[in-house]
Amino acid sequence: MRSILFALLTTPALALAQDVPVPMRLTDDVHGVYDNDLLSPEFHRGRREALRAKLPVGGVAIFFASPVRNRSNDVDYEYHQDPNFYYLTGLREPEALLIVFKEPRMIAGETTDELLVVQDRDPQSEVWNGKSMGPAEAKELLGLKSAMGAMRFKNTELPWKAADAIFSHRVDDPADDPHSSTDLADLLKHMEVTAPAGKEGGPADIRRWMAELRELKTEEELVLMRKAIDITCEAQKELMRRLRPNMTEYQTEAIVEYVFKTNGAEHEGFPSIQGGGPHSCVLHYITNRRTLADGDLLVSDIGAEYHGYTADVTRTLPANGRFTKDQRAIYDLVLAAQEAGIAEARAGMPFRAPHNAAWAVIVKGMKELGIIKEESELRRYFMHGTSHYLGLDVHDAGTYGDLKAGSVITVEPGIYIAKDSPCDPRWWGIGVRIEDDILITHGDPVNLSAGAPRKADEVEALMAR
């Protein structure tokens, strides 16, 4: 254990991953914002304009920040903003709301077609929790046309019209903090009391509009996605260099998440899946406590989150650095299926085209290996879809219609042969998933995560160094 930790802390490759440039950071002790590569105010303004274009005449869209969620007693979970709210505003603080009007309205003596409501700055609270973004700072830094403090908002008459079509994107109902009169629950009450009993749009409408917008990534978004994916690929490569039998799953998790943080990722996009041995056959295993044995496979499904955007890259690694003959047979079959799926990831193709292509390859291969006799049996060993959208969520918003240039999807077939499966026991305990992040274009698909080796020989070569 001590030797592993020492190696982690002293290896230059981890301290500054050569494949992942580290941006120069600007000092901003006034606002507490230190990253100089965040999405621009122009990006968020453009997204609000695109949403406004979808609203009907008299339409009003209302978005709420994610509520603070309690972990236990007086400890909350680390805050994570609602992706739609972040997409439209860039604000990463709680207890806020956004109103987007189709047509300009008069609010508190000012004509505007949008209003961001945030908490007023509280010097006493900032002693404990750091700087916050009050209405003046939000308007300046985020580029909103109008911003208002929560206390003023609660005493402002809102410019509703009887014929308004109100579309509300509400997250989970927030808890009402008895020590605050302006928290998210209070803002919600003010909205409900003052809103007219007019035509209320269905939540399905606003979900569809946001899915249509978020499905297509702008160049500015792709810069951040590439950064998140590059960091994740570096983490997979570092894991390949360091993986050994007798390591615990949590030690492998520590390696990849150390690389995440070292290279500027704020979070992991989802709990890291480090399933070794029998756990390689558990799709969303996150306990990560078992010790790896010589001969085990490790399914490493990880994603760094950078400025809100997450990667999702899976590699399956032999703990001792060498695939057995049977493990390689399954691995090569999954890789062939993935390559067939990636080839179908083209603009205009049905969303399920990559899955159908991967499925066909695996059916044929599993029959040839004698593991199944009929196609209907495959569901036991390949029980998930091959693709999902990727972006602000690991399973990102999208329409699931024909693939469109500018969207990013995963292609991730897998085969999982658990103990006691109805096949030759020689295959038991072999679980393999290979996943890459694919940019759909008007031409050939682009594998954004090609930086992490996929072919068995390449994986073994890197692990042997």
Could you give the residue numbers annotated as active site? 74, 284, 301, 312, 384, 388, 395, 412, 416, 433, 435
From the list 356, 350, 348, the residue with the least C-alpha distance to 405 is 348
- Tokens for 104, please give them: 């300009």
Q: Please list, in sequence order, all residues whose beta carbon lies within 8 angstroms of the beta carbon of residue 43, skipping any fewer than 6 positions away.
A: 90, 218, 220, 221
- Tokens for 25, please give them: 């950071």
Task: Count Cβ neighbours within 10 Å for each residue of 67-96 and write b for 16 or more, e otherwise.
Answer: beeeeeeeeeeeeebbbbbbbbbbbbebbb
Write the CA distances from 154 to 50, 98, 108, 150, 254, integer angstroms: 28, 14, 12, 6, 46
Question: Residue 368: enclosing H or E segment and its boundaries?
Answer: helix 353-368
- Tokens for 239, please give them: 């894991």
C-alpha–C-alpha distance, residues 324 and 311, integer Å: 29
Judge contact between 321 and 459, C-beta under 8 A: no
Place of tokens 């206390």: 151
DSSP 8-state secondary structure symbol assigned to residue 202: P
C-alpha–C-alpha distance, residues 259 and 280, integer Å: 22
From the list 202, 171, 181, 198, the residue with the least C-alpha distance to 98 is 171
> Helix, strand, coil % (nearest 5) of the chain?
35, 20, 45
Q: Please list, in sequence order, all residues whose beta carbon lies within 8 angstroms of the beta carbon of residue 422, skipping any fewer than 6 positions away.
A: 380
Query: Strands 165-169 and 199-200: what pairing?
Result: parallel
Residue 301's φ and ψ, nearest 5 degrees, are -115, 105
Amino acid (one-letter) located at 99: I
